[in-house]
Amino acid sequence: MTSAEIITIGTEILLGEIVDTNTRHIARTLRNMGVDLYRTITIGDNVDRIASAIRSSMESADIVITTGGMGPTIDDPTREAVARAIGVETEFREDLWQQVVETIARYGRKPSENQKRQAYVPKGALGLKNPVGTAPCFIVERPSPKLGERMGMRVVISLPGVPQEMEQILHESVIPYLQKKFDLNEIIKIRILHCAGLGEGTIDEKIADLEILNNPTVGLAAHTGVVDVRIAAKAKNEGEANTMIAEVETQVRERLGTVVFGADEDKLEEVLLDMIAKRGMTLTAIESGLDGLLARKIPHTASLPDTSTPLSASLDPAALMEALRAARADSKTDLALGVSVYMDERAAEMAMITPRGEKTHRITYGGPPRSLPRWSMNLALNWLRMTLEEMD
């Protein structure tokens, strides 16, 4: 299986000034091509450290993709770092310079002298046209150590850090290159099953034997009140991958039942609202201490006084239910859901009214305090979802 590593370059990423979205996009692209991603790394704008990271990645992976550090300024070090990593000098390329000149001319300007830096690449590199920016990109090919009976190939592909530029070059030039160079004829397909109502440990116990499969592979990822089950299959085509995933998904759903509330892009609140709409019902909600979190998910949500402060701590479970009754009567809805968070106690009170009656439920939390509102909201949404399931 062809392998890859991604190196994102930029001190601004390490300082938290910008968010790296390139790694996620490249990772998903490689996954769909059947390439195994071994590692992702972020390095600041330092030639020596970047060169060291590239050398390390080339030792373990067939494909090394860098993003960032391709601009015209002195602190754009990628070209020099790649050259240093493979032991060559950089060279000026007239064809790449003409790309820069033509791109800048589209804006009615002439390139400055420092922009000539962008036409320097490691000696012998393959130039890649950048149709939407001024930074030409390049590919460096090097033979790898003998692998079994064949000689392998290592490639370093350097792309811009600007997401729009990177994505266009990746899809127009890099993907066709990699498919041909590495004879990529497999895909990796992913299916994510979203679960609520059981913790990660309990889910692990129920599907532990599936988690040691080789293909498809199964893994867990815990979020705030939600656990994802990831099923990943490698196959020659999408149909074959879908069949492999479906077999494992069936087993997961049989073992977890209604704990699985959705898949892939499904969101808990959207699944709940869809359930309510299909039953011809309506919902109102109230929140306290969630800072509008529930209101952003559920229409017709009213905010009560913030119970996280001592002055408003008098909103006890009885008061929450009283407020919920009033909200339901005022809105004339079938269902009502209330959530009140008590930060000092690391707890939350949930209340619910359905055509079958009233219920309250108190939950305590042992995680980071800032996650308590979201955790409480997700548990409350799932509590109502499970109640509707039981009402059917």
DSSP reduced 3-state for 236:
coil
Same structural domain, 50 and 153: yes
**Which two structure tokens, joined as six digits, stand for 352?**
């619910």
> Taking 90 as the threshold, does the pLDDT of residue 392 lie above it?
no
Same structural domain, 275 and 257: no
Distance CA 92, CA 33 (A): 33
Same structural domain, 18 and 135: yes
Same structural domain, 205 and 342: no
> Where does a domain end: 156, 181, 206?
181
Give the residue-averaged pLDDT of 8-24.
93
State the pLDDT at residue 110: 79
State the pLDDT at residue 307: 45
State the pLDDT at residue 334: 93
Q: What are the tens digits of pLDDT across the range 288-301?
A: 888 889 889 888 88
Same structural domain, 359 and 218: no
Number of structural domains found in the chain = 3
State the pLDDT at residue 97: 87
Same structural domain, 154 and 18: yes
Same structural domain, 318 and 378: yes
Concatenated DSSP letters of 272-336:
HHHHHHHTT--EEEEEESSTTTTTTTSSSEEE---TTSGGGTT--HHHHHHHHHHHHHHHT-SEE
Same structural domain, 159 and 61: yes
Same structural domain, 54 and 41: yes
For residue 279, which phi and psi values (nearest 5 degrees)? -90, 0
Q: What is the CATH number of the domain that holds 209?
A: 3.30.70.2860
The DSSP 8-state label assigned to residue 110 in this structure reads: -
Chain centre to alpha carbon of residue 269: 19
Same structural domain, 236 and 155: no
> Taking 90 as the threshold, does the pLDDT of residue 255 lie above it?
yes
Q: Is residue 123 within 8 Å of residue 83, measured between CB atoms?
A: yes
The DSSP 8-state label assigned to residue 344 in this structure reads: G
> Where does a domain end: 153, 181, 209?
181
Lowest mean pLDDT among 64-78, 139-153, 221-235, 312-326: 139-153
Same structural domain, 238 and 364: no
pLDDT tier at 145 (50, 70, 90 boundaries)? low
If you average pLDDT over each of 214-218, 309-313, 364-368, which comes out highest? 214-218
Same structural domain, 33 and 161: yes
> Where does a domain end: 240, 263, 286?
263
Q: What is the CATH number of the domain that holds 69?
A: 3.40.980.10
Q: What is the CATH number of the domain that holds 327?
A: 3.90.950.20
Q: What are the tens digits of pLDDT across the range 308-329?
A: 443 344 567 888 899 899 989 9
Expressed as residue numbers, the domain containing 373 is 268-391
Distance CA 148, CA 336 (A): 65
Mean pLDDT of the chain: 89
Distance CA 373, CA 297 (A): 13
